[in-house]
Structure 1
Amino acid sequence: MRDENHRRPWLDRLIPQSKDKAAFVVAVIAAIISVFAISATINFSGQYGFGMFLGIPFMQGLLVVLLFGYRKERKLIECLGVACTSVVFLSLMLLVGAVEGVICLAMAAPIAITFALLGGFLGYFIQKRTRQATAGAIVLLAMLPLGAWVEKQGQTEPPLTAVTTSVIIDRPKQEIWNQLVTFNDMAVPTDMLFKAGVAYPVRAVIEGTGVGSIRRCQFSTGDFVEPITVWDEPNLLRFSVEKMPPPLVELSIYDDLQLPHLENYFVSERGQFKLTSINERQTILEGTTWYRHKIWPRVYWQLWSDYILHQIHFQVLDHIKMQAEGVQ
């Protein structure tokens, strides 16, 4: 039985009687509160972590369902639907408010929707018992930026992650090495992420030879400056990363959208090309990138970063393969 003794006049005025109108209003309200929570998290702590990608969506899903069920108990499917709708409204607000761009919103969507649904699922059961929880959910959502700051204080340096991609080339190592140290313009990639604005390689040149020479790899967003640390012709070319361009150009309704996470949140530290002979005419060419990123949960975002790096590697390795084998 619902508790009718704790009605709140301000909620009575705010939430319409109509189910459809109520769903729209509460979805917008929860989205607006989440926009402020996300903006405060970014400005207060600079933290793109568990609080932002798990806590805020979860509390948003919980809050919107508690508001939706304020007047009348709602069905589970209705609760989950309004939770998803609120996340869509949140994404549109972040886009229009220049808080985020399309690419990062799309990447965050799976985890955000999942936790919003979990919050909505919990809200479905809570709505049956009390309306008292609504104010508590609002307070908890508003406090998440402080939680993000606390989270940041307890974090250590993110681990160094290696991503290795390989191809087999029907040429001996020396012929491949000659194509490896410098290569001309590559074809524009067809992957949708690159078309949307994720950085992709264009060409590479090396100034000098041997250890200490500088490799410049031009990407669609700028140049990597990579001092050579190992020059073992024709076996291994290793380099550090002295300078790197932005990892992407955000797709947005605004020109040149500058976001905090586009600088120093994904850092490539070093890379290498390794050649291993299979026989006199075949060689395995491996490309490896070592990187760190400061966005959590690491397991989720590593799926995206590893996928993108593999696609970049394939773009380079396949180009070298075609050049070495004489395929145009």
Structure 2
Amino acid sequence: MRLPAFAGVTRPRRYALLAPVLLLVPHAAVALLLRARGTPLIADAGFWLLPLRRLAMSPDLPPEDAGIAFAVALMAAGALALLSFRRANWSGAGYALAAVMVVPAAQIAAVAMLALLPRFEQRDGPGSALAPGSDTAHVVQGVLAGVAIIVAAVLISALTFGSYGWSLFVATPFLVGVTTGYLANRRLLLSARVTARLVLIAAALGTAALVALALEGFVCILLAAPLGAVAALIGGAAGRAVAKVGHGGGKPLASVALLPALFALEAATPPDLPIDERASIEVTASPGAVWSALIGDQPIESGPGLLGAAGLAYPLRGRLLGQGVGAVRLGEFSTGVARERVTEWAPGHRLTFQVLTQPPAMEEMSPYRRVHAPHVQGYFETGRTSFTLVPLSGGRTRLDVEAQSVLRVEPVLYWEPLARLAIRVNLSRVLDDLKGKVEAGGRAAHLQSSRES
């Protein structure tokens, strides 16, 4: 069976029937996942506008649920974009509206407007005489335009609005693909494979320009690359199809003008996703011995691992200035010092501290000493960390730790599993280090006692 192509057409009645169904696919996926977990669904305005965010807000969200919901939503957005470009082909206009279909919340208004769009008179455009081949000037224009969109988007979204969301990570690469695909094919039609290659070249050069201009580092680009590459390739197919139809008249390029409005919209409604992560370890020592190591100031001896080597912040040591509730704790991290206040102090039982100020969440890998990337500060924050000591039989102790953090980057279901992984690795590193220190101290004390006796 041959799949629908961006170059085809969809009539208004068919679009009016299918587009709402695709709009509701993410909602249905979220509702089914919540029901399977026994979590009640609150179908308020927030759910209808941003269903994925509602799922992400549910406590203890399994990574597999996050992956399923995000993949379903991304496929639905791609199908909706395809359907909308075909609808725009029928009208000869509305390509900017079709490009918005990859951004949640904005989809609803765009579908409504596109469904009501009348048919405009078609005129032969530059694509009416397309033939296989290549036009070097237009290919270069397409690639350079894609590079310019990426740099401009980061300057406007991240540095001006402080927004990291769907518009930057999905809509921008999608429009890079649309623009590059359209410009490269608007005179002579290239193959789909060549167009895809040009789109990826434009995206790669654009991200290289971000590094060269000290706007981003290698790690952030690497983490966002899979999502951006998929969106760019879909956009490239759409841009090539509009050029093939031949009556776009440059209208797909007007889609880029919508990006600042989308950035502003997302900046006005940023995510504030709480993340609770827990870990436990059993230590062959008494709660008192574990408590002494917990409030000690010895550095963590084990290496940071792959995540730390990639630049993500990892703990080095903690130092208490005083004791009891209200005491200040200085948490030394690879990126700086966090200032914390003790809120619970029960020797041998429980220690809790609240983070007052914290260093950057990561240090970008870059040839420059300083990178102008706002996301390293304030977009992922740790709020409260608690250690609980539970006595076990045989003089052993279970040490539980719970860390509460906040993530402020969309798409939350894409970034949340990565954030949870980083938290989990850091917690395990701290617990393993404490266990090693306490048990090594116990063995040393036992050996010394045996010698003395």
- Fold agreement, TM-score > 0.5: yes
Paired position in structure 1 for 2:365: 251
CA contact (8 A) 1:51 1:145 kept: no
Paired position in structure 1 for 2:343: 229
User: Residue 150 in 1 paired to residue 285 in 2?
Assistant: no
CA–CA separation in structure 2 for the residues paired with 1:246 and 1:220: 9
The structure with the larger Rg is 2
**TM-score w.r.t. structure 2 length?**
0.65
Summarize the alignment of residues 121-200 of structure 1 with structure 2, pairs less than 5 Å apart: 121-130=237-246, 132=248, 135-153=250-268, 155=269, 158-187=272-301, 189-200=303-314
Summarize the alignment of residues 8-157 of structure 1 with structure 2, pairs less than 5 Å apart: 18=134, 23=139, 25-130=141-246, 132=248, 135-153=250-268, 155=269
- In structure 1, what residue type is equivalent to 2:343? T
CA-to-partner distance for each residue in 1:47-106, whole Å, 9 max, x for gaps? Answer: 111111111011111221122222333333223222222211111011111111112111
Q: Which structure is higher in RCO with an 8 Å CA cutoff and minimum separation 6?
A: 1
**Candidates 403, 408, 412, aligned match of 1:298:** 412
CA-to-partner distance for each residue in 1:149-176, whole Å, 9 max, x for gaps? Answer: 02222x1661322111222322232221
**TM-score w.r.t. structure 1 length?**
0.88
CA contact (8 A) 2:302 2:433 kept: no
CA–CA separation in structure 2 for the residues paired with 1:323 and 1:286: 16
CA–CA separation in structure 1 for the residues paired with 2:144 and 2:432: 47
Paired position in structure 1 for 2:125: 6
Tell me how far 1:188 sits from its aligned partner. Answer: 5.5
For structure 1, list consecutive stretches of 5 or more residues without a partner in the other structure.
Answer: 9-16
CA-to-partner distance for each residue in 1:22-45, whole Å, 9 max, x for gaps? Answer: 655522321112211221223432
- In structure 2, what residue type is equivalent to 1:227? R
Structure 2 SS opposite 1:215:
strand
Structure 2 SS opposite 1:146:
helix
Aligned residues: 319
CA contact (8 A) 1:38 1:145 kept: no
Tell me how far 1:19 sits from its aligned partner. Answer: 6.5
Q: 1:100 to 1:87 in 2, by over 3 A?
A: same
Structure number with the higher strand fraction is 1
Q: 1:277 to 1:77 in 2, by over 3 A?
A: farther
Q: 1:222 to 1:190 in 2, by over 3 A?
A: closer
Q: 1:27 to 1:232 in 2, by over 3 A?
A: same
CA RMSD for the aligned pairs?
A: 2.7
For structure 2, list consecutive stretches of 5 or more residues without a partner in the other structure.
Answer: 1-6, 9-121, 128-132, 445-453
Paired position in structure 2 for 1:13: none
Tell me how far 1:238 sits from its aligned partner. Answer: 0.9
CA contact (8 A) 2:199 2:232 kept: yes
Tell me how far 1:311 sits from its aligned partner. Answer: 1.4
Q: Is 309-318 or 112-121 further displaced after alignment?
A: 112-121
- In structure 2, what residue type is equivalent to 1:212? G
- In structure 1, what residue type is equivalent to 2:257? A
Structure 1 SS opposite 2:356:
coil
CA–CA separation in structure 1 for the residues paired with 2:327 and 2:434: 20
| Identical pairs, percent | 25
